[in-house]
Amino acid sequence: MPKPVIKIDCPCGSGALYQDCCEPYHLSTGAPNAEKLMRSRYSAYALGLEDYLLNTWHPNTRPKHLNLANDRTKWLGLEVIRFEPNDDQAIVEFIASYKDNGKAERLHETSQFRRIAGRWYYVDGEFQD
Ligand SMILES: [Zn+2]
């Protein structure tokens, strides 16, 4: 019997179904560009996919582990406002909406991405006002 397909809207807020949006990246080793990687990492936070987040983190800045199981943040959506690819580097600026303890918050960050051997990695980010 084929396994049942659960159709959910992708947590990244693209408007597409998860299976047509970020899931293929979650099931492989990453995304074809930094903007898609950013979206898939956001979805991974929303879904608690710690391994995916660590695997797409640049080795120089990658934390030892995340503690998503104890994280009560409710991720509400992602808006990418700038995407500047430049060879093996890229900048993605985004606003992530979430709820923390029932309070709506916005995270505005400019993130750096780098491509190593054909794979994109998140390097680090800077918060914006
Ligand atoms: Zn998505």
* Cα 43 to averaged position of ligand 1 atoms, centre (Å): 6
Give the pLDDT score at 125.
96
Architecture of domain 18-127 in this structure:
Roll (3.10)
**Which pLDDT belongs to residue 2?**
65
Burial class (CB within 10 angstroms; exposed 0-12, middle 13-18, buried 19+) of 83: middle
pLDDT in tens, 11-44: 998 999 999 999 999 999 789 999 999 999 999 9
CA of 33 to the centre of ligand 1 (A): 13
What pLDDT, in 10s, does the model give residues 42-52? 999 999 999 99
Pinpoint the alpha helices (H) of 1-129: 23-27, 34-47, 50-55
Which phi and psi angles does 14 have, rounded to 5°? -70, -20
How much is the pTM?
Answer: 0.91
Is it the case that residue 1 has pLDDT exceeding 70? no
pLDDT at residue 29, rounded to an integer: 77
Domain boundaries, the chain: 18-127
97: CA distance to ligand 1 center in Å? 15
* Separation in Å, CA 124 to CA 61, 62, 88, 96, 97: 7, 9, 15, 15, 19
- pLDDT score at 51: 95
Distance in Å, CA 35 to ligand 1 centroid: 11
